[in-house]
Amino acid sequence: MILDLPKWFDFHAHFRQGPAMGAYIRAHLDMGCAGGVAMPNTKPPVSRVFGEALEASWSIEHYLHDLNAAGGGAFEALIVPLYLTRATTPEMIVEGVARGMLQACKYYPPYGTTNAEHGVSLEELIGGEVLRELEETGIVLCLHGEQHGLSGDRYFDAVDHAESIFYREKMPRLMDQHPRLRVVCEHVTSEAAVQFVQLAGERVAATVTPQHLLYTVGHLIQGLRYHLYCLPIVKFEADRAALRSAVTASKQSQFFAGTDSAPHTTKATAGGCAAGCFTGGCAPQLYAMAFEECGVSMDSEAGQASFERFLCRNGAAFYGLPLPEQGFRLERQVGRCDLLETPEGPVTPLPVGMERELTWRLAALSEWVCVSSQGNLAHFCFAPRREGAGLRMLARVQTPWNFLEGSFVCGYGGAVAVGVSEWLEHEI
Ligand code: NCD
Ligand code: ZN
């Protein structure tokens, strides 16, 4: 079983900072990822739009420069949201939008997750000029939707927890006071959050991680699997079921991929319990496994369309990004996943930490066809060998050879064998 998909955007990823960034970015590129949202919870936070790196804050301009220098330039689009702090001003939003540097802002519940100590509470933001400016400009507010500052017994209980309290008690006021605000509810984990998103309508969307589709809190505590520990914490079976039916619902447009891949090098080695699952290199495979666990037949056209909507289309549409012209391929075969070596130490991907075999793998694209050429500038398409499947533009490649239109290349990116294929000529 082979699935040919457009490259996808990860609308919630942490690429961190310093020498390990390159490895994290590479892992994303290697899994057919064309970019997405690079979260701003660095140290210091990305809480200005323009200017030099200062001791207390970085700017989007500076962080994007670092990301690009570490290999992020190979992505098609990278959005760094502005970390909302007490120092955020409406002028930052206006200028950021005017100069094309600002596409999203991020709400962190104060002290609610890794490097969230600069966050401002939702109460303080609601009704203020910063959110008014987001409404005015259509800039997306990405929300880490958990109520902060709860006592342990309210933080996580069978009936209510930090996420359900946030969506039931805090979000309605935000929606009322800012009727045009566009919101992405990040990494939703519960039935309460899913219901909120579905009732809120088109201006609200949500990212869903692979871990929240695959696991429940039982998997986390059975043997204290700290590689599965992330925030918001995995919930109960009814919550997972709500997530599963939301992402696979026919023609749904509000839920999309955002892995929240959040590498912590010391997590495995020091046995520390930093919050964050690392899914670089294996996220599309995990999502495909999750869809199959939801009962979606990936062999059927409807199943493939629903997977493609979730992984590739909905998020790009919400953020107004063009669908990547290039594609990538998944194959239902046992896949490999290894520790990621970084200059700061190894990072354990979620399936390794969970000792879970991948039943999908990334596969090399094996047939390309040259659809047009001018000298050695060839326009290649990937032509899926499927009845009735259209051609998908893959790359514009400068090659040392002159390709004739209709010539056919095997191998990924390299001209391993060149020939002319009857059926491809026919399809063109
Ligand atoms: C993230 C991190 O490590 O940066 N951790 C996590 O558990 N998800 C922060 C976040 O997105 O909450
Ligand atoms: Zn995150």
Ligand 1 atom closest to Cα of residue 186: 11
Cα–chain-centroid distance for residue 134?
22
Q: Are 211 and 261 in contact (CB under 8 A)?
A: no
CA distance 186 to 231: 11
Q: Residue 233 in contact with residue 217, Cβ under 8 Å?
A: yes
Token pair 């390299």 is found at: 414
Buried b (16+ CB within 10 A) or exposed e, 241-278: ebbbebbbeeebebbbbbbbbbbbbebbeeeeeebbbb
Describe the strand order of the beta sheet including 377-382 as a list of residue ranges: 392-398, 377-382, 367-374, 407-410, 417-420
- Of 37, 41, 186, 209, the residue with max ligand 1 atoms within 8 A of its CB, to mutate for a pocket test, comes to 41
Q: How far is the CA of 39 from the centre of ligand 1 (A)?
A: 9
Q: Which ligand is nearest to the CA of 37?
A: 2
Asked whether the beta carbons of 142 and 95 are under 8 A apart, the reply is: no
| 79 in Cβ contact with 105 (< 8 Å) | no
Q: Answer yes or no: is the C-beta of 231 below 6 A from any ligand 1 atom.
A: yes
Number of the ligand closest to the Cα of 148: 1
245 lines ligand 1 (CB under 6 A): no
In this prediction, residue 66 carries a pLDDT of 98
Q: How far is the CA of 82 from the centre of ligand 1 (A)?
A: 16
Tell me, what's the pLDDT at 74? 94
Asked whether 9 and 34 are in contact (CB, 8 A), the reply is yes
The tokens for 394 are: 């893959």
Catalytic residues: 260
Collapsing DSSP to helix, strand or coil, 324 comes out as: coil
Given a contact cutoff of 8 angstroms between Cβ atoms, the answer to whether 289 and 214 are in contact is yes
Cα 261 to averaged position of ligand 2 atoms, centre (Å): 7
Ligand 1 atom closest to the Cα of residue 229 is 7
C-alpha 331 – ligand 1 centre gap (Å):
30
Tell me 310's DSSP state.
Answer: I
pLDDT, residue 195, reads 98
User: Does residue 230's CB lie within 6 angstroms of at least one atom of ligand 1?
Assistant: yes
Ligand nearest to the CA of 234: 1
Q: What is the pLDDT of residue 363?
A: 86
Query: 128 phi and psi, to 5 degrees?
Result: -85, 170
Q: Is the pTM of this model over 0.85?
A: yes
Q: Which residue owns the Cα nearest ligand 1 atom 4?
A: 114
Cβ(240) – ligand 1 distance below 6 Å: no
Residue of 10, 12, 14 with the most ligand 1 atoms within 8 Å of its CB, for mutation = 14
Ligand 1 contact via 326 beta carbon (within 6 Å): no
Q: What pLDDT was estimated at residue 417?
A: 31
Interatomic CA distance for residues 361 and 161, integer angstroms: 36
Task: Determine whether the shortest distance from the Cβ of 275 to ligand 1 is under 6 A.
Answer: yes
262 lines ligand 1 (CB under 6 A): yes
Successive 10-residue mean pLDDT values, the chain, 428 residues:
93 98 96 97 98 98 98 97 98 98 98 94 98 98 98 95 98 98 98 98 98 98 94 98 97 98 82 88 98 97 97 98 91 94 95 97 69 63 46 55 59 35 33
Q: Calculate how far, in angstroms, residue 276's C-alpha sits from the geometric centre of ligand 1.
A: 5
Strand order across the 82-83 sheet? 82-83, 104-107, 140-143, 182-185, 204-208, 255-257
**pLDDT score for 273:** 81
Please name each of the domains of the chain with its CATH number: 2-362 (3.20.20.140), 366-427 (no CATH)
Alpha-carbon distance values, 224 to 227, 270, 353 (Å) = 9, 15, 11
Question: Which is it for strands 417-420 and 407-410: parallel, antiparallel or unpaired?
Answer: antiparallel
Please work out whether the CB of residue 324 comes within 6 Å of at least one atom of ligand 1: no
Burial of 372 by CB count in 10 Å (0-12 exposed, 13-18 middle, 19+ buried)?
A: middle
> What would the DSSP string read from start to end of 244-299?
HHHHHSTT--SEEE---B---THHHHS----S-BB-TTTHHHHHHHHHHHTT--TT
Tokens 């996420």 found at: 163
**pLDDT confidence of residue 426:** 32
CA of 38 to the centre of ligand 2 (A): 9
Q: Is 277 in the pocket of ligand 1 (CB under 6 A)?
A: no
